Amino acid sequence: MKQLFLPALLCLLSACATAPVLDVAAAPQGDYKLDPTHTSVNWSLSHSGLSFYTARFDTISGALNFNPDDPTNSALDIRIDPKSVSTGDSEWDETLATNGKYFDGDSYPEIRFTATSSATKTANTGQVTGNLTLRGVTKPVTLDVTYNGAGKSFGNPGATLGFSATGKLNRSDWGMDYLTNFGIGDEVTLRIEAEFNEAR
């Protein structure tokens, strides 16, 4: 009995996971919903050249219409609550979230990225360009994207697609230039991990 129980328990704990399928064309076509519990949007900037100050957003939603035959014809729409900014300091989070010098979340309650074009580089990498709307200003941003594969995520009945992405932007382009003259970096680096669950 113990010989049967242990493998079953290990399988349950690991969700009987198998390696993701890296072949883009093998992924199911259709609509996917962002899984916020397995998604992170981290950003960092120079802190007077001493370190790269790093924070994240905790409330993220979005949708992906995925075309495995031609990924460049996929559609992506991501929304972020600026008030969900998280630095590890709750008082500073509140300042960043609501102060007009920063995200001004009371006046602009949503950050949105909508893909407008994409291009493939290799079998599982490419670039996605989209419109980033922040503080009421919309400007293009390009992300370098890696397709991590399709697989099964525990608790989700359909397929799950995984992606990693990086990008850079200048915060001053969105009216957030406060303290750039005092050594706080203008260039912001984005590091994104995302999973999308097949909508059923």
The one-letter amino acid at 108: Y
Residues with Cβ within 8 Å of 70's Cβ and at least 6 positions away in sequence, in order, are: none
Reference 63, options 32, 41, 36, 40; nearest CA is: 32
CATH tag, 23-198: 2.40.128.110
**7, two tokens:** 């493998």
Q: What is the pLDDT of residue 6?
A: 45
What ranges do the domains of the chain cover? 23-198
pTM value is: 0.90
**197, two tokens:** 């669950």
Q: What is the pLDDT of residue 15?
A: 46
What does the pLDDT look like over 105-159, one tens digit per residue? 999 999 999 999 999 999 999 999 999 999 999 999 999 999 999 999 988 899 9
**174, two tokens:** 């969105």
